[in-house]
Amino acid sequence: MRAKHAVCGLLFAAVLAAALLVPAVARAADDPWAFQADKLKVWGFFQVWFVSDSTDNLASDNTFRIRRARLGVQGTTAKGLITYSLLAGMDPTTATTGTSGVTLYEAWGQVNLHPWFNIRAGQTKPHFTAEAPMSDLDTPFILRANAIDAITVRYGTEGTSQRDIGIEFNGAGKLGGNFGAEYRLGVWNGNGANAVDNNSNKDITGRLILTPIPGVSLGGSFITGKEAAGGGVQNDINGWAVELFAHQGPLRGGFEYVVLKKENSGGAALSTKPQGWYVYAGYKVLPNLELLARYDTFDQDKNTPNNTIDNFTLAGVYTFKKATKLSVNYIFVNADSGVNTGAASGTNFIGNTWPNQLANGAAKAGTTIGGAQLDNILLVQLQVAF
């Protein structure tokens, strides 16, 4: 087993070394990235929220909040052979305490060998589903769909922020005419951001995106791996997702369906199958104003009844400039009484969405918040990007 691990490490080192030794002149002269000068960009954004939450038993049903505050650098070096990104956050660590600290979100470098073959290593977002790896700057709605957030927010038992540490191979290009394709294939610790692996196995993710005509894309993704479940027991994780998106003129829309299956390899009680889907549409009524609607449904465990949550979201987004925008979302919530609202380690949870990201997130003394207590939410976000 140790020999196998050593071979994997040596192979990884050899691939990176070979990539770094490729001379710039070996790349095609007509490649647009072949002879770029070194570039460095400092960028960042922050998001200010106001939340009015009708959920029963909340200690506070409305609040202002700094949801995210991020600062990063990204750039190219070695005449375009290397691209890199470093992103840190000063977000409050929880919705309830208001305390904050500096957290590393991204730290990766990519060797650009060819448009169809690049190697990225470090901490970044694995490409399982379409919405999870999307930048927080670009999501159409303030919150990701429940199924996406709950299933992908943790790739292992301690992960956060839909990020992990590992290596990814990626590429994109045209297959002929306007027909394009993009792929992502990654090998990850499976234990989340800023964490070493907690077992001897690695998670594997993959995603394929096809663009048969301009403005239309379809694809699929998968994840497979293991996570530590305590007592030396491992959970087998296998999931898949399909996606379809279209954007033509002022109209856009999308659909995604995701399934995850966790099986306890020790034969113990834990065996769950969370799954869900969403569909949305948006229309630009003015150059700077878009109206959107989304329906999403999430079944926390297909094997267990009475634990589904359905949301219908109406949204308006006014864009001042690029990613600086004001968003207003009203979420109609319909949850079964058996819905688990906690973020318990590893399995069925709403993740950061209900109620932890919203309002106070804490229940009144002597009360609890379950599916029967969840109710509609008004969420307003000012996002400033620079």
Give the pLDDT confidence of 331-385 residue by residue, as tens digits.
Answer: 999 989 888 775 333 333 333 344 444 444 567 777 777 778 888 999 999 999 9
The percentage of residues in the chain with a pLDDT greater than 70, rounded to a whole number, is 77
Q: Residue 176 — left, alpha, or beta (φ > 0 → left; ψ -120 to 50 → alpha)?
A: left
pTM of the model: 0.85
**Which pLDDT band holds residue 164 (cuts at 50, 70, 90)?**
very high
> Which one is predicted more confidently, 200 or 258?
258
Q: Which of 121, 192, 127 is nearest to 154 (CA)?
A: 192
- Report how far residue 237's alpha carbon sits from residue 269's, in angstroms, rounded to the nearest whole number: 15
Q: Which of 273, 179, 195, 280 is nearest to 235 (CA)?
A: 273
Which residues have a Cβ under 8 Å from the Cβ of 93 and sit 6 or more positions away?
Answer: 99, 100, 101, 103
Domains of the chain as residue ranges with CATH: 2-385 (2.40.160.10)
